Amino acid sequence: MDAIEVEGLRRRYEAAGGGTSGSGFEAVRGVSFSVREGEIFALLGTNGAGKTSTVEVLEGLARPTAGTVRVLGFDPFTQRAYVRPRTGVMLQEGGFPSELSVVETATMWAGVTSEARPPREVLELVGLGTRCDVRVKQLSGGERRRLDLALALIGRPEVLFLDEPTTGMDPEGRRDMAALVRELRAEGTTVLLTTHYLEEAEQLADRLAIMQAGRVVAAGTTEQVVAERPSRISFRMPADLHARELPLSVPAAVDGRRVSIRTHELQPVLTELLLWAREAGVRLESLQARSASLEEAFLEIAQAGHRPEDGGDTSAHMSTDAVTGVWA
Amino acid sequence: MSTTSATTANPLKPAGGGRASTLSPRRIRALARAELTLLVRNRASLFVALLLPIVLTFSTKTAAEQADLSGTGLSVGTAVLPGSVGMVLLFAVYSNLVGVYVARREELVLKRLRTGEANDVEILGAAALPSVAIGLIQSAVLLIGGALLLDTGVPSRPDLLVAGLLLGTLMMVTLAAASAAVTRTAELAQLTPMPLMLATFAGSGLFVPLEVFPDTLAEVCRWLPMTPVTDLLRGAWTEQLSGMETLRALAVAVGWTVLGGYALRKRFRWEPRR
């Protein structure tokens, strides 16, 4: 069974002052995906892609403008009483009174959670065991994220929402977070996370979706998302050779002496290139060959999605055009 | 529901949290305790809530001693006390709570709490509890102090006293939440309580009984939120409140409370504006 089901979700923010004039901004424009029980699902996207707007609906903080959302089979907004005891939420930004201490905050949260773990136990779990009596306002950004995670875990949730859990964390914090998330999966917890760190998604997520301007533009396992992307070979041409002397049947982009080849058939193309180079006695400097990474796929999708109406980065938009020009 | 879902609780039984579900004393206690800790750590709020009403009582007492109360049926004590209780409600409950609600919203605490099991009434109610408790304790202190020092004695209509106190408190809480809804920042929370406070000072009979006003002005002032509360409190001693007047006072007080509750439901924001 799917722990989370999202079908045709739309979310519109009305312009300030409310009103029904249809003004405002549609942050989520028809998103559908599902997260299986016990799965780690990552929602990726640039800032403003609609990740948090989507997750907030799943958390039951906002009503969808259109579409349906189910968490553990219930509507998280209208049936929140059924959903809340079984979910844990880590918002993008904390939300703790700055004058309470760490343990006071956790105690408060335990008090509003059914079957809560002891506050100190869960603080220990996230590595805040020695910071119990520190006021929240004195915590570092990473420590706040740990506290937020502790609260999200206090009720042993079946479904855990993590909205950019590692933002502001140092590498050690991110490693701890990743280890914890893996442990939770081993215990059967369903995790939906959004993140800016693609390698994090690559390492952790069973499946992922990439959002762009309010829509899901790619979804599946990392392999599936990346598979549609070409692999890349690049090297520097010896000064005495011209690009047209290259034997390759695939299109190559030449920028000065730098040659890039993008192909869905990495091995045969690379073989052909290397055999040619050996026979011709050519030395290929700075030779690189790599399969598409999630990061590449992500950047490509993000750039392709930039249209002038999105007010995006026009220089990125231009350079994408230039590159496609060469490939064509 | 799939049977594979590993859960200890019966998934069909809500553990609370819905708008319609019952209130949980455990959750309210946890939230109110945290809020009390915060109130104790906020020296400025604590000062305003604890000391200001007492200080103002002494200054109005001095003024009342010099005023001509003949024909109002009031003594110095019964002229001052209802106003003092009114001020407690304004400062300790209303004004203080506007600040609390706005601060919690701007710190994203309200949003965070809504991701948990506590329902909306519990979240707002528990945040109000420490202020309400301080308001009621102070009122009790003032009433006892009045009986002992200002010879007000025991009110002959304690039912009116209780009705005025409870309705006034509930009204102040809902109006505070409604005021917080139109307050954009924590700084502005110093300002937005002013209209109600000034209107109350001027026209709700806190210091000056409405009887001394021209009739039309007095009539307008009777519709202000705190006027019925003052009337009920004062009536507890003077017994000059007729049955009709009592009903009208109750109706106006309930009306404002309902209006505040409606505005709060329609307009209350659980997170800062973007």
With 0-12 CB in 10 A as exposed, 13-18 as middle and 19+ as buried, what is A131? Answer: middle
Domains in chain A, number: 2
Is A52 a domain residue? Answer: yes
Say how far apart CA B64 and CA B82 lie, in whole Å: 12
Residue of B nearest to A71 (CA): B1
Interchain pair B107, A85: CB under 8 A: no
Asked whether residue A179 falls in the same domain as residue A267, the answer is no
Neighboring chain B residues of A109 at a CB cutoff of 8 Å: 30, 116
| Average pLDDT, integer, range A29-58 | 94
Interchain pair A99, B6: CB under 8 A: no
The CATH number given to whatever domain includes residue A281 is 3.30.70
**Gyration radius from chain B CA atoms:** 21
Is A182 a domain residue? Answer: yes
Interchain pair A1, B109: CB under 8 A: no
Q: What is the pLDDT of residues A257-281, one digit of tens each?
A: 888 888 888 999 999 889 988 988 8
Read off the pLDDT band of A296 (50, 70, 90).
Answer: confident
Asked whether residue A56 falls in the same domain as residue A168, the answer is yes
Is A322 a domain residue? Answer: no
- Nearest CB to A98 within list B16, B34, B107: B107
Q: Domain range spanning residue A267? A: 230-293
Asked whether residue A244 falls in the same domain as residue A126, the answer is no
Q: What is the pLDDT of residues A147-202, one digit of tens each?
A: 999 999 999 999 999 999 998 888 999 999 999 999 999 999 999 999 888 888 98
Q: What is the pLDDT of residues A126-141, one digit of tens each?
A: 999 999 999 999 999 9
Say how far apart CA A76 and CA A83 lie, in whole Å: 6
Q: What is the pLDDT of residue A22?
A: 57
State which of A204, A226, A248 marks the end of a domain.
Answer: A226
Neighboring chain B residues of A157 at a CB cutoff of 8 Å: none
With 0-12 CB in 10 A as exposed, 13-18 as middle and 19+ as buried, what is A87? Answer: buried
Distance of CA B237 to the CA centre of its chain: 21
Asked whether residue A150 falls in the same domain as residue A245, the answer is no
Neighboring chain A residues of B8 at a CB cutoff of 8 Å: 115
Block mean pLDDT (10 aa), chain B, length 274:
41 45 90 96 87 82 77 77 91 94 95 95 96 94 87 88 96 96 92 93 82 87 94 89 92 96 93 82
Residue of A nearest to B100 (CA): A97
Interchain pair A91, B108: CB under 8 A: yes
CA distance B198 to chain A (A): 27
What was the ipTM of the complex prediction? Answer: 0.86
Asked whether residue A170 falls in the same domain as residue A44, the answer is yes
The CATH number given to whatever domain includes residue A88 is 3.40.50.300
Say how far apart CA A218 and CA A212 lie, in whole Å: 9
pLDDT at A5 over 90: yes
Size of interface A-B (CB pairs under 8 A): 124
Q: Which residues 99-138 on chain A approach chain B with CB closer than 8 angstroms?
A: 99-100, 104-105, 107-115
Asked whether residue A271 falls in the same domain as residue A159, the answer is no
Lowest mean pLDDT among A16-20, A314-318, B54-58, B143-147: A314-318
Q: What is the pLDDT of residue B54?
A: 80
Neighboring chain A residues of B107 at a CB cutoff of 8 Å: 95-98
Lowest mean pLDDT among A232-236, A300-304, B126-130, B254-258: A300-304
Asked whether residue A272 falls in the same domain as residue A198, the answer is no
How does A2-27 read in b/e, with b if 16+ C-beta sit within 10 Å?
Answer: bbbbbeebbbbeeeeeeeeeeeeebb
CB A313 within 8 Å of CB A305 = no
Say how far apart CA A27 and CA A65 lie, in whole Å: 10
Say how far apart CA A47 and CA A211 lie, in whole Å: 10
Nearest to B189 by CA among B271, B266, B100, B256: B100
Say how far apart CA B61 and CA B87 lie, in whole Å: 13
β-strands A25-36, A231-236: how paired?
unpaired
Is A209 a domain residue? Answer: yes
Say how far apart CA A266 and CA A226 lie, in whole Å: 14
Say how far apart CA B92 and CA B48 lie, in whole Å: 7
CA distance A115 to chain B (A): 10
Interchain pair A80, B11: CB under 8 A: no
| Average pLDDT, integer, range A71-100 | 94
Is A315 a domain residue? Answer: no
Nearest to B232 by CA among B167, B164, B174, B183: B164
Neighboring chain A residues of B26 at a CB cutoff of 8 Å: 111
Asked whether residue A156 falls in the same domain as residue A277, the answer is no
Nearest to A157 by CA among A130, A139, A180: A180
Neighboring chain B residues of A188 at a CB cutoff of 8 Å: 6
pLDDT at A319 over 60: no
CA distance B269 to chain A (A): 12
Helix axes B25-41, B43-50, angle to 10 degrees: 100
What residues contact A77, with CB distance under 8 A and at least 6 apart?
A: A57, A60, A62, A63, A64, A69
Interface with chain B: mutation pick from A11, A35, A77, A112, highest number of B CBs within 10 Å: A112
Is A323 a domain residue? Answer: no
Asked whether residue A149 falls in the same domain as residue A89, the answer is yes
Is A204 a domain residue? Answer: yes
* Tally of helices (H runs) and strands (E runs) in chain A: 11, 13
Lowest mean pLDDT among A71-80, A135-144, A222-231, B177-186: A222-231
CA distance B181 to chain A (A): 12
Interchain pair B30, A100: CB under 8 A: no
- At A113, the amino acid letter reads T
Is A326 a domain residue? Answer: no
CA distance A146 to chain B (A): 15
Asked whether residue A35 falls in the same domain as residue A153, the answer is yes
Interchain pair B38, A89: CB under 8 A: no
Asked whether residue A57 falls in the same domain as residue A178, the answer is yes
Asked whether residue A136 falls in the same domain as residue A279, the answer is no
State which of A171, A191, A226 marks the end of a domain.
Answer: A226
Interchain pair B7, A86: CB under 8 A: yes
* Tally of helices (H runs) and strands (E runs) in chain B: 12, 0
